[in-house]
Amino acid sequence: MAKTLIAVVGPTAIGKTALSIKLANHYNTEIVSADSRQFYKEMTIGTAVPSKEELSAAKHHFIQNLSVTEDYSVGDFERDGLALLEKLFKLQDIVILVGGSGLYVNAIVKGLNHFPDVDESIRLKLNDSLKNEGLEPLQNQLKTLDPKYFEKVDIHNPHRVIRALEICIGTQKTYTSFLEQDKEERPFNTITVGLEADRTKIYERINDRVDIMMAEGLLKEVKSLEPYKNYNALNTVGYKELFNYLDDEWSLEFAISEIKKNTRRFAKRQLTWFKKNSDTLWFNYKTTEQTIIKVIDNKMQSQ
């Protein structure tokens, strides 16, 4: 039987954790988390880490295995995740991958585009140019150096424009040429299962979850992390808004409303990302696991 990775995706608060545990129990296997916010052991409530009961119901990997003070990139996750899957697939034919971080799911399923290291001074010069002259000259430079990427990138996003330019300048090749490189084939099949609901329901579930997080002590958790608030791991929804409250910039009521609003925006971006994959099998969040398992089994038999 071919080795199969079942990836469970969808927007935040849709029920991915519950489904992944049911699938893991049905197939007698383990779960690999691709939720980049749940890697950090100091962040529990605000990242909706699975409960002790959920963690004991199925073996999980990459849950609270790092400190917020550690640098951990998506490239690190691709390396570590593939190494783990190699071990797990020696023991079983099916493994479950779950998460709402689209880039991290893609890192395992499809692989990342790998770019060469370039001189850091290039980025510093480009950032100086952005600060002193604005974005337009950088946009024009990208149009000249890589017209193909210029046509599809969000040219109003300075981070992406500068990232492409530093590669073009540092390698004397187009950014597009690296994007179009063949990626290493995966030694397993992937079946991607997506959970969805109408937008009103998703937003309702998000608002309810934020209220539950506050009741469970999210503010106390954020207070305990104040000394680390400048670390990148904490520049995330649910934490940065409450840091603003603790800094007396916002009222608590406004901070909570901003958490809800920013989480809703995040969910919208998640859906946009995951909907790009035309192979995903989409199910309403209320669909029974028996129905989903039946579809998965049929898909595995046809591969």
Q: Which residues are annotated as a binding site for substrate?
A: 12-17
Q: How far apart are CA 62 and CA 37, in angstroms?
A: 10
Q: Which residues are part of a known binding site?
A: 10-17
Q: How far apart are CA 89 and CA 30, in angstroms?
A: 10
Nearest one of 281, 295, 277 to 196, comparing CA atoms:
281
Q: How far apart are CA 138 and CA 144, in angstroms?
A: 10
C-beta separation of 17 from 100 below 8 A = no
Give, in order, the Cα–Cα distances in Å from 147 to each of 151, 158, 174, 211.
6, 16, 9, 47
DSSP state of 246: H
Is residue 224 classed exposed, middle or buried when 0-12, 13-18 and 19+ CB atoms within 10 A define those classes?
exposed
Beta bridge pairs of residue 191: 6
Q: Which residues of 61-83 are buried (b: 16+ CB within 10 A; e: fewer)?
A: bbbbebebeeebebeebbebbbe
Strand order in the sheet with 4-9: 60-61, 31-33, 94-98, 4-9, 189-196, 281-284
Q: How far apart are CA 171 and CA 175, in angstroms?
A: 9
Q: Which residues are part of a known binding site for ATP?
A: 10-17
